[in-house]
Amino acid sequence: MLQDRHVARDISYAHSARSRSSRALIRTMENATGRIGLIKRAHGYERDMRDGRDIWQVMVDRFGLTLEVMDGCLSNIPREGPLVMIANHPYGILDGLMMAHILCRTRSDFRKLAHEVFSRAPDLGETILPISFDETKAAMHINLETRRKALRYLEQDGAIGVFPGGAVSTSAKPFGTPMDPGWRGFTARMITRADATVLPVFFDGHTSRLFQLASHLHATLRMGLLVKEFRTRVDTPVAAMWFDAKAALVELMRGDMSPRKSPARQSPPAERAEKPELRVAPVACVARPPATKGETFQHGLTPEGRPKTWTERVVSLEEWRALIEWERHGPNGRMCNGVNIKWKAKKFRDLTRL
């Protein structure tokens, strides 16, 4: 007989705090803003799993969450071959749960890069590839091992979910618009080395103003409110998009996707991306280059809300670095609905749409 387990009780950001006082404050904030209620809702979930149901589907049902696919279709997600699902990170716990929910509905087995606090729950341990944000040698060892495991898993035609920003979306100023931080280069290198299909997903929404203000005051306050942000979304639909979204787009990827090691890879992202010459392709396509050198392909761009479509000729891919960049449409009228791509690769593949 299965013993009662408590996946919600095992998860707390207090585990990542450095001092005893910070751990106590985070735990107090979590308990006061909804953690206890979440534990009660999850209690007994192991009984649902006895019928062979997936832990992620059980948790989604327990918390009353539903997935609203605004654009795209789950059935079009590749069910075979290496796959990397990348997404923005507007809420925190909610995004991770829904990312796993999407993957478990289309792939029988997958892995997800996530904060190490989630690996403390035994039922999530097999799925989670832990990332530590501590500045210690032990944390460095954990992260290096996670990278190796991720690459090995993709080489075995596995599917991996990752938030390349590595942190919940935060506004640059207390009353600004929340944005993902710069997306890290490891995701680009992982995709290229494994020759993986890329599934870009956009989660609509953002955290509360209280969370944004707390983020600018102290990291401990920020961590203490992450559970609250999830609690406020319980029993509500979660909007996800596979395609361009006029309401909001986030930075998709910025980095060197060349599989070869070079000094340029060690340069800061701002230096690598300085005055790039860009190609444009729709968000809806799998991030792979055209089939042959010199082939033309359609792409769409919506500058300031006005649709425009044209073709671009592809040059020798050995001449280019890959740079994918999702711009966010804001009050300044910057480009939206555009993905800028510049390729550098030895292989040519069909530009397949999802």
- Are the CB atoms for 187 and 84 separated by under 8 Å? yes
The residue ranking higher by pLDDT, 281 or 222, is 222
Angle between helices 55-62 and 93-106 (to 10 degrees): 130
Residue 20's contacts (CB-CB under 8 Å, 6 or more residues apart) are none
Mean per-residue pLDDT for 275-292? 32
Q: Averaging pLDDT over each range in 148-157, 263-272, 322-331, which range is the top one?
A: 148-157
- Are the CB atoms for 65 and 98 separated by under 8 Å? yes
For β-strands 339-341 and 279-281, DSSP reports them as: antiparallel
pLDDT tens readout for residues 118-159? 887 778 878 899 998 887 888 889 989 999 999 999 999 999
- Tell whether the model's pLDDT for residue 227 goes beyond 60: yes
pLDDT at 27: 92
- Tell whether the model's pLDDT for residue 50 goes beyond 60: yes
The residue ranking higher by pLDDT, 239 or 62, is 62
pLDDT at 345: 32
- Are the CB atoms for 341 and 324 separated by under 8 Å? yes
**3-class SS of residue 149:** helix
pLDDT at 9: 65
Q: Count Cβ neighbours within 10 Å for each residue of 327-349 and write b for 16 or more, e otherwise.
A: bbbeeeeebbbbbbbbbbbeebe
Pinpoint the alpha helices (H) of the chain: 7-10, 20-32, 35-42, 45-49, 55-62, 93-106, 137-155, 185-194, 209-217, 219-224, 226-231, 269-272
Question: CATH number of the domain at 7-241, please?
Answer: 3.40.1130
Range of weakest confidence among 60-64, 140-144, 191-195 = 191-195
Picking from 230, 198, 127, the residue whose alpha carbon sits closest to that of residue 354 is 198
- Tell whether the model's pLDDT for residue 280 goes beyond 50: no
Mean per-residue pLDDT for 69-86? 80
Q: Averaging pLDDT over each range in 40-49, 101-110, 319-328, which range is the top one?
A: 101-110
pLDDT at 176: 87
**3-class SS of residue 57:** helix
Using only C-alpha atoms, the chain has a radius of gyration, in whole angstroms, of 20
* Torsion sign (Cα): 329, 334, 336, 340: negative
- Are the CB atoms for 290 and 315 separated by under 8 Å? no
- Tell whether the model's pLDDT for residue 57 goes beyond 70: yes
Burial class (CB in 10 A: 0-12, 13-18, 19+), 147: middle
Residue 119, both tokens: 């690996």
Pinpoint the alpha helices (H) of 156-262: 185-194, 209-217, 219-224, 226-231
pLDDT at 33: 92
For β-strands 83-87 and 159-162, DSSP reports them as: parallel
Listed by start position, the domains of the chain span 7-241, 263-341
Does this model's pTM top 0.85? My answer is no
Question: What's the CA gap between 321 and 317, in Å, rounded?
Answer: 8
Supply angle C-alpha 325, 269, 257, rounded to 5. 65
The residue ranking higher by pLDDT, 116 or 269, is 116
- For tokens 């948790």, what's the residue? 59
pLDDT at 76: 73
Question: What's the CA gap between 251 and 254, in Å, rounded?
Answer: 8
Q: pLDDT-based confidence at 323, cuts 50/70/90? A: very low
Picking from 269, 235, 268, 260, the residue whose alpha carbon sits closest to that of residue 94 is 235
Euclidean distance between the first and the last CA atom of the chain, given in angstroms as a whole number: 43
Mean per-residue pLDDT for 315-329? 31
- Tell whether the model's pLDDT for residue 274 goes beyond 70: no
Question: What's the CA gap between 182 and 71, in Å, rounded?
Answer: 25
Mean per-residue pLDDT for 59-87? 83
Residue 258, both tokens: 């060349």
- Are the CB atoms for 78 and 157 separated by under 8 Å? no
Mean per-residue pLDDT for 42-67? 84
- Tell whether the model's pLDDT for residue 112 goes beyond 50: yes
